[in-house]
């Protein structure tokens, strides 16, 4: 739930309190509850990254807000929607790759969302050098947090024996679990890039090459994991959503393109200065007109944006997409 939705819900909650107490004069505790809710709403707007769910029950005074089933159910729903998604890491298998003069082991990593069976799993492959690079990069920023974390050493010989490979499977599984358990590390760009960047680079490479079906296949696989990893920063997946829009549009699937465009716009509603906002609006206007949907409201947003910004050159949505992950 975004910031404005939280504020709207709180205003509706206050209205419910007022309806319940219309037969009596507003008490000081009611006025205090309203004042606290308004303050909480303003603070949430100013600090969108912070999770206020745990303190939500304190935004209204107990006497005015926590005495009815309606309000108790509201807070239960709030906590349920903001509950942290937990991921599990499994490394069930490996494969040895021989490429020209090099030889290495690829570790198959399955990332599962707890309580979701297999419907939300993601599957990626990484080699020892990928883990090693991740650890080196994380040490630059989180040396204190990682001082007690042991990284499996590379041996001079025997790296391809079944015993060593099995030991590393278990070690890398524990390593990922430990990293994810540390809030600042699991939210860091370096950790998220380790789990998503290779696939995104491949997808955008396919997009630049006009292989939209292949790009869409990869993007559809990675976006679920990317979304779960960046749950506290919904704007982070806007480029991926827009790349999916571009693929569907070029594959002449305007309905699917419009669907993903709406998801991207919802994440940019309070981030109109984002580089994707205007190009996305232009694309959505075209799609809405093609589908016979209301495009006037989108056109109004675009005109409003133009009046507030200096007239500078703006890339199209496709031009922005093909520039992502260019080495």
What are the start and end residues of each CATH 3.30.1520.10 domain in the chain? 86-187
> What is the value of pTM for the model shown?
0.72
pLDDT band at 20 (very low <50, low <70, confident <90, very high): very low
Give domain 198-323's CATH superfamily: Tetratricopeptide repeat domain (1.25.40.10)
Task: Count CB atoms within 10 A of the CB of residue 114.
Answer: 9
Q: CATH code for 86-187?
A: 3.30.1520.10
Taking only the tens place, the pLDDT of each residue in 186-233 is: 999 999 999 999 999 999 999 999 999 999 999 999 999 999 999 889
Taking only the tens place, the pLDDT of each residue in 111-143 is: 998 875 656 789 999 999 999 999 999 999 999
Taking only the tens place, the pLDDT of each residue in 43-80 is: 444 444 444 434 433 444 444 445 566 666 666 555 54
CB 192 within 8 A of CB 184: no
Rounded distance, CA 57 to CA 54, Å?
7
Rounded distance, CA 196 to CA 288, Å?
31
What are the start and end residues of each CATH 1.25.40.10 domain in the chain? 198-323
Residue 240 tokens read as: 């991926």
């Amino acid at each position: 739930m975004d910031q404005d939705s939280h504020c709207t819900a709180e205003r509706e909650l206050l209205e419910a309190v007022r309806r319940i107490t219309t037969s009596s004069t507003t008490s000081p505790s009611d006025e205090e509850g309203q004042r606290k809710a308004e303050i909480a709403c303003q603070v949430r707007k100013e600090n969108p990254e912070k999770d206020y769910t745990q303190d939500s029950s304190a935004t209204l005074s107990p006497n005015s807000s926590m005495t009815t089933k309606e309000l108790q159910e509201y807070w239960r729903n709030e906590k349920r929607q903001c509950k942290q998604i937990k991921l599990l890491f499994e490394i069930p298998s490996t494969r040895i790759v021989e490429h020209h003069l090099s030889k290495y082991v690829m570790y198959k990593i399955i990332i599962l969302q707890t309580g979701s069976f297999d419907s939300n799993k993601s599957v990626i492959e990484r080699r020892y050098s990928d883990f090693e690079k991740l650890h080196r990069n994380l040490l630059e920023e989180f040396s204190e947090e990682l001082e007690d974390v042991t990284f499996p050493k590379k041996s001079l010989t025997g790296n391809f024996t079944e015993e060593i490979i099995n030991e590393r499977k278990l070690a890398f599984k524990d390593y990922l679990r430990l990293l994810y358990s540390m809030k600042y590390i699991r939210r860091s760009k370096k950790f998220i890039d380790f789990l998503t960047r290779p696939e995104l680079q491949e997808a955008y490479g396919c997009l630049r090459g006009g292989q939209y079906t292949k790009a869409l296949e990869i993007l559809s696989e990675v976006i679920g994991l990317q979304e779960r990893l960046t749950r506290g920063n919904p704007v982070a997946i806007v480029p991926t959503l827009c790349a999916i829009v571009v693929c569907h549009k070029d594959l002449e699937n305007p309905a699917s393109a419009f669907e993903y465009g709406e998801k991207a716009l919802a994440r940019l509603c309070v981030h109109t200065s984002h580089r994707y906002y205007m190009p996305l609006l232009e694309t959505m206007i075209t799609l809405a007109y093609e589908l016979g949907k209301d495009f006037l409201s989108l056109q109004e947003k675009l005109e409003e944006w133009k009046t507030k910004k200096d007239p500078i050159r703006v890339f199209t949505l496709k031009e922005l997409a093909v520039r992502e992950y260019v080495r």
